[in-house]
Amino acid sequence: MLNKKRKIGMKFAMIMAAAAAFSGCTYVPAGTTEPKDEIAVSIYDRGSIPASEGSYSDNRWTRWINQAGPANVKFIPVPRNESRPTLLKWFAAGSAPDIINEYNTAFRNNLYEQHQLLPLDPYLRLMPEYEKLIRRYPELKKAGTKSDGKLYEIGKLNEAYPLHAFFIRTDWLNKLHLTMPETQEEFFQVAKAFAERDPDGNGRNDTYGTNISYYSESALNEMFGDSSSSTQFSWGLRDGAIVRQWDNELASLTFKKRLYDQGIIDKNYMYDSDGSKAKQDFLNGKIGIYINPSVNWLEFTLSDLAILKKNVPEAEVAPLAYPVTTMGQFTGAINNPVQMTTVINVHTKKPEAAARYIDFMMKPQTSVTFLGEEGVHWQRNPNGCPGVLDPYKEKYEVSYNADYQMFVTDIQQKCGYMVNRWNPQVPEQRTALELFKKAQALYLDPGKQYPGLTVGEAMPVFPNRLNAIQTALLKEIADLYIKAMISGVTYSPEQAIKDAQAVWDQAGGKQLEDYMNEWYHENKDQAFLAKDLWEIVKRQGAEMQ
């Protein structure tokens, strides 16, 4: 049983009932005397739940949801990197879950085009928490409404924090008498020194200057304003028109090839599909400039850096601003502040139960329960907000529950913001908070350019016919760029870009350009673009104080 003597003074009148339910005392919401309906909900399987916690379908959090919530929920795990084909098979077989949690905007749009989604307007009355939220933030309703004028998608407001970030070993800088790099050439020379001058002092050639993997390559591309990734091309705005940013791609490809040719990165980087090899190299003290492609700030500052310090006690790390390049100075990707995540299967037999479940998960007392147990996982910090108490328990017993709350907004009050999650009276957490604030200053700077048109999930979605063209082109052009990376002098970046442009013209790339420009001219006044992102960054900066 949670220790009820530790009252946290939150504004949520139901917290103690929620806490009792979490500890095993079943909380029965008012009006739920009848048997609960059964629904199925998809959940990402990231392979990160410890065996001691159970599985994605059965763990402390799923059991609590079924005890305290309005429905009996069967959670259906979906492999994170295979969610789209897996869900497609389920829809084709008529066995898709009632509720689909999926970040892929294009896939959700395809489901809409195939009439697989339930319009949600008639069920909003059963989701009063979401009704309140979209009245307060109408951009959420706008983002979830499709071309027929009906609401189909549930989403959330996120904190617009730095999502891609570079971290540099400052102890290596000091040991090698180097300064913090500010330009692309300085970045290259520092990384080269980290790879060649034995900064860890073990007498072996076993360090890397920096890292590239499936996602971190996209972050490195952003140094040059190149927003291309495995799922999208790099688009920019020039003279009032949307254009492909071939010059930016040439600049980033040339730089990456130089890193590869000089042995500054792992030459087997293309096999590190999820970045786990690069992360382990960093934690073992073998990478000088670590490109983190999706920063979980609490986990990184309190858990990952603790592991690094345990392995390498002298290690010191600081955030590194994206260097000035031949294409200008950019910031890295910023976490999408308006994010659609969740839809309901049009074939569900229990739409009311699905709506009530979503409402239950959005209740403030539910969010408090998902912080874990007071005095074990968290305690109230000097900000008056729940702060991490034990980073290891947080990582292994709590952090994995985030995917069960994919559609939950947690920044409706100051305690939802990252700066209020650390306890500055604890030395390790004070250091973590200082590192995060430095990163905010470096990356949330509207004086720098944002790479591309907007955040990835706000990019226009191609219809199926054009999406097939894009998918084929992404694969063929990516292969050309990898060939340029690993072929030495026999195949240059310039030739790769030239060949990519030829492929683009032959395979229908002009159709993609025409669609992008049509979309832009029809939607430029209401679309969520980089300028709107910076406005939200500014607004949130005031709200989190």
Contact 65, 29 (CB under 8 A): no
pTM of the entire predicted model = 0.82
Residues 463-480 have pLDDT tens digits of 889 999 999 999 999 999
Percentage of residues in the chain having pLDDT higher than 70: 94
Cα separation, 246 vs 227, in Å, equals: 11
Do residues 328 and 449 make contact, with C-beta atoms less than 8 angstroms apart? yes
Question: CA triplet 11, 12, 14: central angle to 5 degrees?
Answer: 150
pLDDT in tens, 47-75: 889 999 999 999 999 999 999 999 999 99
Q: Distance between alpha carbon 329 and the CA centroid of its chain, in Å?
A: 23
- E strands, 212-265, are 235-238, 241-244
Hey, what's the torsion of the CAs at 175, 177, 179, 184, to 10 degrees?
-90
- pLDDT class of 33 with cuts at 50, 70, 90: low
Average pLDDT over residues 193-216: 95
Task: Read off the tokens for 458.
Answer: 């706000």
pLDDT over 80 (residue 228): yes
Q: What is the DSSP letter of 142?
A: H
- Give buried/exposed letters for 473-495 (b at 16+ CB in 10 A, else e): bbeebeebbeebbeeeeebebee
Which pLDDT value is given to residue 545? Answer: 67
Q: What is the mean pLDDT of the chain?
A: 91
Alpha carbon 374 to its chain's center? 27
SS (H, E, C) 18-48: HHHHHCCCCCCCCCCCCCCEEEEEEEEECCC
Burial class (CB within 10 angstroms; exposed 0-12, middle 13-18, buried 19+) of 463: exposed
**β-sheet bridge partners, residue 319:** 167
Q: What is the DSSP string of 361-420?
A: HHSHHHHHHTT--BTTTEEE-TTSSEEES-HHHIIIIIGGGGGGGTT----SSGGGSGGG
Q: What are 274's two structure tokens?
A: 């999820």
Q: What is the pLDDT of residue 12?
A: 35
pLDDT reported for residue 464:
85
- The Cα–Cα gap between 269 and 217 comes to 10
Grade residue 410 by pLDDT with cuts at 50, 70 and 90. Answer: confident
- Residue 387: the pLDDT is 87
Between CA 39 and CA 124 the distance in angstroms is: 18
pLDDT band at 231 (very low <50, low <70, confident <90, very high): confident
Nearest C-alpha neighbor of 84 from the set 98, 70, 102: 102
Residues 220, 165: Cα–Cα separation, whole Å: 9
